[in-house]
Structure 1
Amino acid sequence: MKKIILLFLVFAALTVKSQNYTPLNYSFNGTPTHGIKIKTNLPYTNSSQMPTIIIEGYNYSKGKSIGIMLNWYIYQGNFVSYGASSHGAYAPDIKLANENGKVVIFLDSREYFNRFQVRAYAKGRTADDIPTNYENWIAVDEALSGTYIVTVPYKNDIKGNMAIEGNVNIGGETNTMLTVRHINGKKADASESDNLYLNYSNQKNVWVGSTAAPSNLLIHGKLGLGTSTPSMKLHLDNLNSNDGIQFGSLFKVRSSSFGSNHFVMENIAASGNLYLRSRTGSNTTGNLILNDYGGSVSIGANSTPTDYKLAVAGKTITEEVKVQLKSNWPDYVFSKEYKLPSLQEVEQHINEKGHLQNIPSAKEVQKDGGIELGEMNRKLLEKIEELTLYTIQQQKELEKEKEKNNTLEHRLNEIEKLIKSKVLE
């Protein structure tokens, strides 16, 4: 009976050994120049290998534990279905390669005083579960070479609720994707406040997909909503007609239903105004500039007529309007060289054309969709100055007629006196 038990224990021990291996114990009291290249004895052969490689240890430089679980498969000459998960605090970048027909695991770690143990598990595939494949592994400080090099992504899924105290880094030390600090009022030290920090150290994107407690959210870099390649601090893309930014129940900026090239700014409160200001506090020296790149502005209309900068559909009110004219102001009417049309010529033009010379007709105004205020004022002033000259001419003629009348009246008086004297004789 004792022999049977002994044989069973030996068989069980051999069975366990054939499934679980410890191919490498690594420690280096220094700083690697290139990284840590783990040269395995696993042959790079097609349709082989589903190992589970576990790397556990300590990184003294950062004062963090190392916990990595690594898997891959080789199919049609390539690494496929590869991935890693981290259950430690230090997770360096990992690469796989084929070097001289053997699988190489490269840890892109240049921190000093690393030490860890490599364990392996292989079961279920006879071609993989070969003890000699897990012997004579070595770790060297060499640059990565070989072929079929791939970068292994970290894939950690967390389901359910998770409470975090302190710091959690996801994505590796040198490529930190997410840093979470001070959740639920927990502080790393007394000098810091309760904030949630999201930071990618290589200026990449930070993806936010959940709500946070009422605390500050500080994002270093660019935030993209609807895009994975934001070009500004806040970039909204792939917008539908009601997508945009809303500020409480007061104001929102959204994409317009007129098309993808339009957007709408609107006050959505029950009452109130929408202010566009260019000032801070009492500073009133700034300017509000609308479309300084050659476009146009419409008020109460969906579009602006061609060649116009401002279109207003409705009435306007203002205290003062200044129009800068492109043509000369009509002081030339008072020049000696100006040829003033005679009243007979004016009458003839009116009889033939039905309007004053150089003044647009009703048909022209209707055809052109209105009048240019500055140009029309210039033309009206020209006519007023011409009327002034006509009035001056008429006044001079009246003065002459008056002088003639006075002379005639004097002569008549003299004649009457002469006649009366003759009669009395």
Structure 2
Amino acid sequence: MKFKLTTIVLVISGFITYAQQIGDGHAPATIADFSAPLKSGIYNGLNTTTSGMAPDNSNVWQHLFAARHISTINNYQLQIASSFAINDRLFFRKIVAGDLSSTNTNWVELATRGLNTFNGNQIINGNVGIGISVPSSTLEVKTPAIAGSETLLKLSVSDANQDYIRISNGTNTDNQFMPTIQGYRISDSRSILYLTATTESNMDIGTDPLMTFDSRTAAASIITRPLFAWDSYGNRKMILTSNGSLGIGTLTTGTHKLAVEGSIGAREIKVQATGWSDFVFKKEYNLPTLEEVEKHIAEKGHLKDIPNEEEVLKNGINLGEMNSKLLQKIEELTLYSIQQNKKIEDQAKEIEALKTLVLRIEKIEKELGQK
């Protein structure tokens, strides 16, 4: 560090000794035209007696050091100056080539405060802090607290400058920060925000997902709170709970993995059943008699093993279980129909036998009547 300071002092001393002095060597009290030649040297140097080294108080500027070439070709003047009336800024700047035509000289400057313009690539080896003095990451931004409008980062493009993506504070509550990513688009009606995970086609292998959304505590999974929600201007439309249940149109999923407030349209629904009703056709099945069925209906008002209306309205039905029970009743009806058919067939045979008997009796009676 001492070596760097010594080098700077030697360079500045060289400017004082060998720089071309412009004019009579006396600096004016103020400079009305910044395109006018400015004398080289250190202004208001400590214990200096050099003529022309009086401080230049040009409006709100105070020139501390100036080095100028007699030619106006190329970058011909270098200044270190300060602003003592506006933001107390320190400037390191130069005049670009051939600009001695107006009072608004074309400066290229680097200021310690206020508005700065940088041209070209800026390479910074280290951390960058905006609004923070000791950044702990490559880029760290801390915005001042502004109620309802704290924006940390806003990105847009020049040919659609009303469209942007913004990272901001999503709450108006003081002393709280809710990180919010917002995409805003009014240039047309296409999609506004994409989250895309991209890989090469030869990496479309394995079982790891391309994109993962993770809600967690610092060291464990969420147990109680919902994990994700889908809203429209604060109106909740869908929710995913901590146990993996999805609610659509409802915030209460109960014991269901999928709870929907409204109808569901589908071309096909497959229910994995734990059992089926084919036991009705086994020989050991005790098929209730129709008299028993009639008695149960008279007493209970519904079929056996089928929930009544009150229970269904209160608890709903298990689709797989109910289909199995309905099939059980259909199979029982099938057995009743088979039994009835056998009885009908037996009765038909008996009727045919009776018809034959009647014909024989009629024949006998006719023969007896002729005698």
TM-score using structure 1 length = 0.42
Instruction: Give the structure with the larger strand fraction.
Output: 1
